[in-house]
Amino acid sequence: MAPVKVTKICCIGAGYVGGPTCAVIALKCPHITVTIVDLNKARVDAWNSPDFDLPIYEPGLVDVVKQARGRNLFFSTDVDKGIREADLIFVSVNTPTKKSGVGAGFAADLNYVELATRRIAAVATSSKIVVEKSTVPCRTAESMRTILEANSKPGTRFDILSNPEFLAEGTAIADLFKPDRVLIGSLQSQEGKDACQSLAEVYGNWVPEERVLTVGLWSSELSKLAANAMLAQRISSINALSAICEATGANIDEVAHAIGFDSRIGPKFLRASVGFGGSCFQKDILNLVYLSESLHLPQVAAYWRQVVEMNEYQKSRFSKTVVDTLFNTITGKHIAVLGFAFKADTGDTRESASISIIRDFLQERAYVTIYDPKVEEAQIWQDLSEAAPNLTLETIKKQVTIVHSALEACQQKEAVVIATEWKEFREIDWETVYQNMSKPAFVFDGRLLVDADKLRKIGFKVTTIGRGERL
């Protein structure tokens, strides 16, 4: 056998990974027809919208879709047609953390992966290369292969590959255009290596050969979890140091700058904040914890669990700082929270620090006004309802207001909390904000975003994460 020349790709799942990834593949490979399928009609309709009002916000994504959609990039709800016609199928469905049953709170829920795999087996009438694109636990490919082989039609074979994504939301398109690496895992049989070569040739249309890494299937699956765990560990480490800085009078910016000069450490992911969020870090670490416990490695599990616990501590510590600084009570006080997305340049709110902070403020019976430039109101209400299940939505809406500008959010407030590092928050007219706030006016910077000295000269009382006030 020789590697299959891929001319038609199907991606099952039109979310944060599948949509941008396959849109870029279509752009860079005009000779390959790329169809992204999803059962969610509203989502597919948004991808197909005439005015390019796409279902996810990602800088540069609209330009990519404009160039490729209708040429060789298509979005459809006809999953079966997409499967039947493709040479190569990306499985890019959601793998949330289980909420019940064995492994609840830690293990990945692979229900959507299994449903997609069974659908491929039921529909496919010719041989396919099936690629895990979702973040999955180790040896998920083995389960997929078992399902496919048990249900395949005569003369139909399936080769399984692992091709994890390493995208950072907010820079996903840039990451796809110039990836640090493309990782492809395969079985080390001749058939597995041929399938691997087929996918490598797709990426070879724009990715330099030395950046396409081919490894064993299980190493590929674990590498994704390991990469996110190591990145999250750096964030938790610098956040742990930020607490020491506040207690001693040190400055976390100066500490991070100093240690980042060490070539063995480097400067990336050493920016203290109110905590990490997003769809991957916490989920993948908890997955690693569950895997470690399943393999009877309790010390390893405890080590990685501490990364998540440190992140939760950082969020609750920040909330407590707000309460302590506002004279030990925020009951009945009005607080502006700037930013609801988990980071700038995305509309994604999964595991956002803002959710935890606002939940804490609601429990203290404060009034909160929220502004975020990209997050939809419906998403905010849904997230807060899930975060505070003991409160009805009606009760939450009595305490929370959503507005459409930062200046409006800050009017007549006792305090402003910066929870997301949107660039526009750095450029706010702070003089006007100060004039329209109750006095003393407090600013709590959870993202090291604003010039604290400049704000103090205006009259603000400023608390910045990781900066102690001792001399």
The set of catalytic residues is 280
The two tokens of residue 424 are 């526009």
95 marked as binding residue:
yes
8-state DSSP, 25: H
Helix then strand count (H, E) for the chain reads 19, 14
Q: What angle do CA 161, 71, 124 make, to 5 degrees?
A: 40
Q: Is 416 annotated as a binding residue?
A: no
17 is known to lie in a ligand binding site? yes
The response to whether 14 counts as a known ligand-binding position is yes
Tell me the CA distances in angstroms from 240 to 71, 270, 388, one per residue in order: 50, 11, 27
The DSSP symbol for 211 reads G
Query: By 3-state DSSP, what share of the chain in percent is helix, strand and coil, each rounded to 5?
Result: 45, 15, 40
State yes or no: 282 annotated in a binding site.
yes
38 is in an annotated binding site: yes
CA–CA separation, 53 and 396 (whole Å) = 29
Q: Rounded CA gap, 286 and 308, in Å? A: 8
CA dist 306 and 286 (Å) reads: 10
Residue type for position 468: G
Known binding residue 80? Answer is: no
Query: Is residue 283 marked as binding?
Result: yes
Task: Tell whether 281 is in a known binding site.
Answer: yes
Length of the chain equals: 471
Confirm whether residue 18 is marked as ligand binding: yes
Instruction: For residue 210, say whether it is annotated as part of any ligand binding site.
Output: no
Q: Is 15 annotated as a binding residue?
A: yes
Does the annotation place 43 within a ligand binding site? yes
Q: Token pair of 92, please?
A: 């890019």
Residues belonging to the binding site are 13-18, 38, 43, 93-97, 134-135, 169, 280-283, 350
Residues belonging to the binding site for NAD(+) are 13-18, 38, 43, 93-97, 134-135, 169, 280-283, 350
